[in-house]
Amino acid sequence: MTAARDESVAAFRERFAQIMIESGMPRMAARVYAALFVEDSGTLTPAELAERLGVVPSAVSGAVKYLVQVRLVERGRDPGTRRDFCRIHEHTWSHFISQSDPVFVRVQSGADEGIEVLGADSPAGRRLDETRRFFAFMREEIQQSMARWRSLNR
């Protein structure tokens, strides 16, 4: 890459990270995610990430841990080496959304439990009922949307 292109990519990477930050992602996680996103291979070592972002490796480590937890990135090791890498999931957003169902199920179950404790006719019970119905609706919508998305991307 030319120096001008490197600068353009770095500037875009930071603008994209800012979008993720404004969407609620922690700052360093957003920067790491954006760095992986703009990399053709979608894969960088922790040292490469630290170098590209101009930060210490420990900052990258915490960010990668967060991104792995929310299922946007995976960590791995090249077979037969000690070289660790971080890789953005292929089809990252559809992967992320399709993995949300267990969280939605837990929220629904928690709302059900709360309704039993607080009573369906109490103000809190009505809020919990709306929460339960909303997450049931979203689960169904996501399942249908993901099926449509997969059919468009075969």
Q: Read out DSSP for 118-135?
A: H-TTSHHHHHHHHHHHHH
Q: Mean pLDDT, to the nearest integer, of 99-127?
A: 93
Q: Is a pLDDT exceeding 80 seen at residue 150? A: yes
Q: Which domains does the chain have, with CATH numbers?
A: 3-90 (1.10.10.10), 100-152 (1.10.287)
Residue 50 scores a pLDDT above 80: yes
pTM of the model: 0.78
In whole angstroms, what is the distance from residue 60 CA to residue 33 CA? 10
Q: Which of 52-56, 92-96, 147-151 has the lowest mean pLDDT?
A: 92-96
Confidence of residue 3 (pLDDT cuts 50, 70, 90): confident
CB 61 within 8 A of CB 88: no
List, in sequence order, every beta strand (DSSP E) within the chain.
43-44, 73-77, 84-88
pLDDT at 93: 86
pLDDT in tens, 63-91: 999 999 988 999 988 788 788 899 998 88
Q: Which of 32-41, 42-51, 76-85, 104-113 has the lowest mean pLDDT?
A: 76-85
Is the pLDDT confidence value at 1 over 70? no
Cα–chain center distance at 16: 14
Q: What is the mean pLDDT of residues 10-34?
A: 95
Q: What percent of the chain has pLDDT over 70?
A: 99
